[in-house]
Structure 1
Amino acid sequence: MAKQETNNGMLNPDILVELANTKMPFGKYQGWLLCNLPEPYLVWFHQKGFPAGKLGVQLATLYEIKLNGLEYLLKPLIKK
């Protein structure tokens, strides 16, 4: 698991690479890359509560990224 912060308090970029390449493990969008999940699905999770653990943190992070129109930052990080 990647550290969220480095020694100087900056976000570890490996977290974004992992977020761009992790697949949804269950539900309607099982197998989809998290970064490709539709925004209404993330809004639903935000309202109902994100799952516990790492996946919940990833979905909450992705919600904030999409809410602020920053999903374009993840597209170049997707591994082919």
Structure 2
Amino acid sequence: MNLQPSKEFLLKLAHTKMPYGKYKDRYLIDLPEYYIVWYHTKGFPKGLLGKQLQTIYELKLNGLEYLIRNIKTF
């Protein structure tokens, strides 16, 4: 089982914006940490958005947001 995200997933993640709610149209990587933690506590949505938010959570938890911000510049 490959747990490493694919290049395509990371590229899409870097350019995906929140589709609804208070932070609609904000890049996922730019969502406030408390908001991502709230999703972690309450449960991530199903599907691709949930996987993306879960990845953002892990990146923020480990201080790796800069990786996605670097990708976003391409």
TM-score by length of structure 2 reads 0.88
Q: How much does 1:21 deviate?
A: 0.4
- Of 8, 20, 26 in structure 2, the residue corresponding to residue 14 of structure 1 is 8
The 4+ residue runs of structure 1 with deviation greater than 3 A are none
In 2 relative to 1, CA 71–56 (structure 1 residues): closer, same or farther, beyond 3 Å?
same
Deviations 1:52-77 (A, max 9, x none): 11100100011001000000101111
In 2 relative to 1, CA 53–10 (structure 1 residues): closer, same or farther, beyond 3 Å?
closer
Q: Which has the larger radius of gyration?
A: 1
Structure possessing the higher relative contact order (Cα contacts under 8 Å, 6 or more residues apart): 2
Q: CA RMSD in A?
A: 1.7
Larger helix share, 1 or 2: 2
SS of residue matched to 1:74 = helix
Please name the residue that 1:24 is paired with. 18
Native 8 Å contact 1:21 1:79 kept in 2: no
Q: Are residue 62 (structure 1) and residue 56 (structure 2) matched?
A: yes
Long gaps (5+) in structure 2: none
- Distance (Å, rounded) in 1 between the aligned partners of 2:64 and 2:25: 22
- Distance (Å, rounded) in 1 between the aligned partners of 2:13 and 2:58: 13
Please name the residue that 1:41 is paired with. 35
Please name the residue that 2:70 is paired with. 76
Long gaps (5+) in structure 1: none
